[in-house]
Chain A
Amino acid sequence: MRNVPTLLRRELNAYFASVLGYLVIMFFLIVMGVTFAVIVSYLNRGPTQLTAMKIMFSMFWVPSLFVVPPITMRLLAEEKRSGSIEMLMTAPVTDFEVVFAKWLGALTLYTLMWALTGLYVLILHYFSLGVASLDLGPVAAGYVGVLVIGQFLIAVGLLTSAMTKSQVMAALMSFALVFMLLIVVNWMTWLFRGETALRMLGIAIPLDRFFKAVSSFDQMEDFARGLVDVRPLVLYVSGTALVLFLTTRILESRKWR
């Protein structure tokens, strides 16, 4: 793992050497900024149980869906297409070091973007001074949730990039996968509301509870409320471990062909 810092630095340079890094951050900030403004004006109408940040975090799926594919699509697909993967793999670095560093690079960019929304928190804090107290606990928990889910989706995006030489294919695949993981799973919670259990081999599998447990929307809501549940943390971290392992295998599979 010695070479990871070197590889990581190269990845970050690559994001900002081209227009991509700046473009993605710009898009993200525009969307989140407008959303924030709309939320605040909406909340101006009267007192509610909702907080601005809670609503912000409930919109997490928008940047996930539209930011993760662009930042992950080039990671391995471009190297394969240009042949520079050969230079990389013939240096004394392991396949896993390469995969891990690329994942970390995308995650760093993603974290940077979300960190910039800290500005909104500052704004809220400034305007609520002496009027109401801004509860920072749920805000921090919300950021934790966003990052934990994000790191998993980035791993998925990296996986799709490893599977093809075409950045476009990688982007399409990761978009589809993120859509399924976030949106479709959430639809499933509505589908299986109530006492719906699947009877298989005489065992009742409680699908409603299963989908509720894996639904990112429900999990994000909990995080935004300040509830940091260990279970989704474990789910996403171990999910990332699995996906990074698979990606390393795919990279190695050139050795089987």
Chain B
Amino acid sequence: MQPMIRVENLTKRFAGLTALKGVSFEVKRGEIVGFLGPNGAGKSTTMRILTGFLPATAGRVAVSGVDVFEDSLEVRRHIGYMPENNPLYVDMRVREYLKFRAKLKDVGRADRKERIDDVLEMCGITDVCHRIIGQLSKGYRQRVGLADALLGEPDLLILDEPTIGLDPVQVRQVRQLIRDLGKQHTILLSTHILSEVEMTCNRVIIIHRGKVLVSSTLANLIKPTIEVEVRGGPRDAVQAALRSVPGVASVRMEACDDERVRCVLHPKPEADPTEEIFETVMRSGWKLRELSRSRTSLEDIFVQITREEDEAEEDRLDQRRSLLR
């Protein structure tokens, strides 16, 4: 089965700025993928290229097997897009606007009214369908944008920061809506709100400075961890002892001073060596100060990865500078 989106080596240069540097990823049918990255990472640019609004400088982009550059019109027929800042015509009424958009998206006359009623209901805006868009609150406007994206019954939904500017109640509602829609549509959404990705997506693509750093399911990315703090043992001995515990995949030293040694362990998949760790520490005669289980949050991973990338970038720049001297 063809992937819904296939991006190969996508590069985008604006005057003086390379926004995307060889981005490659795939989105399979039925997935809800979160495009995660700090501001300026290239998320919106990628989405604009996917929807045919901007062209790529290099690389290939295909949606449902159709190349976006070659047949942009066909691609647009299968996508429901909600851009950042959701620019709507503020002088039209909600129903009027949706009718206009439905006609553009070739929703047949016979189905049109029913389709509009359906999306109004799906997005919870049936009550405001006669109001002028300019008079609606941001939350309602966002929903109108979402309703518009759904009008053509698209296979693929591309949502750029769908919950931005909404209040917490509205955010929850939109996220629930996205989860529900995910059952029948493929969704690519971009955000810099990490908890949003954790709550709605099954896969995440982390992008930073125009490069894809990580592309993986959440399960693979968020690993359980065990934190251990021990007193009375020399650093190397403690580390070796912990490593020897069956079920422990890796040990990382976090902090140590004369008295205490603190480590973060990753257990092997499906293993829970908590009790073995306790026994190992006791047998060695050390004092156990802390033994706790947690999951690395996406935030930690995100900060760690982007920091690593920033440091790598700094190194590259330093290398170049030293070569020039």
**Chain A residues within 8 Å of B, Cβ to Cβ:** 3, 6-7, 9-10, 13-14, 17-18, 82-84, 86-87, 89-94, 254-257
B105 near A91 with CB under 8 A, answer: yes
Pair A90/B76 contact, Cβ less than 8 Å: yes
Residue in A9, A17, A89, A257 whose CB lies within 8 Å of B15: A257
Asked if A86 and B91 make an inter-chain contact with CB atoms under 8 angstroms apart, the answer reads no
Q: Say which residue of B55, B83, B104 sits within 8 Å of A83 (CB atoms).
A: B83
Residues of chain B within 8 A of A87, CB atoms compared: 83, 87-88, 148
Query: Which residues does chain B contribute within 8 Å of A91, judged by CB atoms?
Result: 76, 101, 104-105
* Contact across chains for A10 and B100 when beta carbons are under 8 A apart: yes
A48 → chain B closest CB, angstroms: 48
**Given contacts A6-B100, A86-B83, A90-B81, is CB(A17)–CB(B105) below 8 Å?**
no
A-B interface contact total, Cβ < 8 Å: 63
> Helix, strand, loop or mixed for chain A's interface?
helix
Could you pull out 5 A-B pairs where Cβ atoms are within 8 angstroms?
Answer: A17-B91, A90-B76, A90-B83, A94-B73, A256-B55
- Bound together, the chains give a CA A90 to CA B53 distance in angstroms of 6
Within 8 A of A (CB), among B70-96: 73-74, 76-77, 79, 81, 83, 85, 87-92, 96
Q: How many Å lie between the Cα of A86 and that of B88 in the bound state?
A: 10
Contacts of B91 in A (CB 8 A): 13-14, 17-18
Q: Which residues of A contact B74 (CB under 8 A)?
A: 92
**Cβ of A94: which chain B residues have Cβ within 8 Å of it?**
73
Q: How far is the CA of A14 from the CA of B14 in the complex (A)?
A: 33
CB neighbours of A14 from chain B (8 A): 89, 91
- CA separation between A13 and B54, bound complex, in Å? 29
Q: Say if the beta carbon of B30 comes within 8 Å of chain A.
A: no
* Interface 1/0 per residue, B32-60 and A, CB below 8 Å: 00000000000000001001111100000
B252 contacts chain A at the CB level, 8 A cutoff:
no
